[in-house]
Chain A
Amino acid sequence: MTGFPWLTLLIILPLAGAITVFAVKERFVRLTALAVAVADLLISLPLWWLFDTSSGEMQFVESARWIPSLSINYRLGLDGISLPLILMTTVLMPLCILISWHSIERRIRSFMAMLLIMESAMIGVFCALDFVLFYVFWEAMLIPMYLLIGIWGGPNRLYATIKFLLYTLAGSVLLLVAILVLYFQGGHTFDIPQLSQGTYSNSLQFWLFLAFFAAFAVKVPMFPFHTWLPDAHVEAPTAGSVILASVLLKMGTYGFLRFSLPMLPDASQLFTPVMVGLSIVAIIYGAYMALAQADLKKLIAYSSVSHMGFVTLGLFMFNIQGIEGAVMQMVNHGITTGGLFLCVGMIYERTHSRQIADNIGLTKPMPRYATFLVIFALSSLGLPGTNSFVGEFMILAGTFLWSKIAAALASLGIILAAAYLLWMVQRVAFGVPDPHILPKLRDVNLREMITVVPLVVLIFVIGIFPNPILTRMHPSVEKVIARVFPPAAEHASVMPRLIPFTPSVERITSPTGPTFSQETQTTSEGRP
């Protein structure tokens, strides 16, 4: 661990960049923004290797007094759960800037400034160790996103953006009350690791869980709080959709994992049936809705609802497979869905339509584009060898330990995902193109290649070698699970998490591996 303020630098740099874009000449605005985002990526990369994989504690911790009268501190830190999410954010931001290179013409300075402010706030959310600081970052991104959709969005943008804002704001104000209550119950501190050690009465946990749920469930979004998402996605500019789907939604599941589970373990267990039920409904409902969509962005938006259902399902399994799978899936969904939205953005730039019916048969005129689309779609439906397979498989394995019926129902989502994605690919890639649009269909250029290739590489790298991510998150996830099932109350026969699940590709991919034999033993004995 070094004393270098990595995280502060990561947060400050985009903010400084957001001011700089107003100072440079008009034609350098895009380049400046890109340079800042790439610099941020380069700063974040060393963290991956400097990170101590054996520790579940917070690393790179920075601490300074902020508002001493309320003991609010400026405290930042990383653990194995936030590290992959921060890297995902820094990888995606340059791509968001690249995809907006020509598609955004009006007020380019403000646009880039908004993207960079968002980046600061998103990184801040993932590494804040003080609850008020977390809340400040969490809320601070609302206004940039509101403007991003409202100024540069589609025809129905005003409705979509205020709906987004009011939904998320309404959810998060209850979070603030919960934070303040925790402050007084948890020993007059806003320190997140310290609050995660406290014990709170059952009735308090019950109410706090509901308040947390309001904030995080809207953000994820869980069924039935998802209705803002398709509207926001459809109206947002491409970069906005990518940020929304890839990072903002993860903040909700990150919130469950970072706060609800360790701070309110008893209430989390109490609410598990509800959470699982809502997750499964989201998985199936989202997938069904996706089947019916004629608009590509809406289709992907509903697929997000479905995929995020897997993540919340995995989180509330409280076993190592479920939670690690959920974190994996958070990263994977960011990469894959981000890639799908980038693809939609590219085709929209050419045909000015997001309707499937208007974009048929792109393989002939745009072979490279079609290749990327197919890769992202296959990754999204969880083809083995791609990233999503790892995450979904782990989540389903974790669910299987908890309930076979739940796992079976959730698996339906994968089948439906194959249906709506392959059907979409069949039409968009392999249909008979409309001769009128053919002249518009230039294949992807170099800038667009640069935009999507990093994600394609990540899809296969994570799909084939998920271990680096898993080993980094393993100690942190174990810590969370130890909070839900304290080691003192350990009982060998009822604890699925006791399965020695050393993350390794062989075990995940081979159906006859040790995981499965032990899993059967455990489930046969059931859970309390």
Chain B
Amino acid sequence: MIRYIKREIFRGFKKHETRVHPLNYLFWECTSRCNLNCLHCGSDCTKDSSYDDMPLADFLSALDTIPHTSERITVVLTGGEPLLRSDIEQCGMEIRKRGMHWSMVSNGYLYDEQKHIALLNAGMGALTFSLDGLEENHNWLRNAKNSFSKADRAIDLAVKSPRLNFDVVTCVNQRNLTELPAIYDYLIQKGVKAWRLFTIVPIGRARHNPDLFLADQQLKEVMDFIKTRRKLSLIDVKFSCEGFVGTYENQVRNGFFFCRAGINIGSILIDGSISACPNIDRSFAQGDIYHDNFFDTWQSKFKPFRDRGWTKTGQCKKCSDYNDCLGNGMHYWHGEKENVLVCHNEKIKCASKN
């Protein structure tokens, strides 16, 4: 009964949040260069990008269209690998001086003590590193033999900083699925406080490698793993916000599923496009900072993000959970958008039947 009431209130909250759409979270795809060549990269990033890094001044011009409000905004520097930018500290400092908070997603390869201190000096407040397994499996997915030791060093630095809201993310795949308990122990021993698990989206380089994707039963195993470990409260382990997980809702995350792309989350992509999460199909771009006022675009456009009715097609058309799911995460709609790429809910239901 309480769960039912909470769900109903949450539906109201989602509707209200969608109507008001306060911008709380802004991705900046500041480079598309990357020093790794990960097997699962959804961006097809390489060492040599076809795009130059976006000049800081261009980004700041867009940022300066956002009026000063009481809303707390975190700017998330992403890529590619943000640490390849030689001016990364200056980028952070300029964002922070504007009263916004900033953070960074990194593979940790270039994160040493000197960089750690320089980024803290620039006001960095949150940080995420990727760790996709223990040594063998991490190095395999990251396609670089030293990447685990580099990530390990980076994690050691991050956990020591009380300033940082820090977490580790892991892309679960066929190889590291059975290793999750060992990764869990490793992270606890390292002093990591928060751990997010993802599945891999069949886009970019990943779509050519079926070993990266979980079968229905394996996804359910991940849910059960998270659910049981959350009860122990030794680390804040959770499933990412990537999709609606049916009967596991509110048990594998803090709350129910809510894809906030275009509602609370915006982005400025490498070519200046204005959109939401960077892994969302680029055809959803709502404008670009070189021709449009960023904040006006945020306020007045984004209809496909704020009215998800168009997702009621394909297998979503007759789904009884549609009102809670609204077509899963926006990044699961690509190409002609005739059907959702992955339905976690259906996979879990299938696994439960067998």
Partners in one complex: no
Q: List B residues at the A interface (Cβ < 8 Å).
A: none
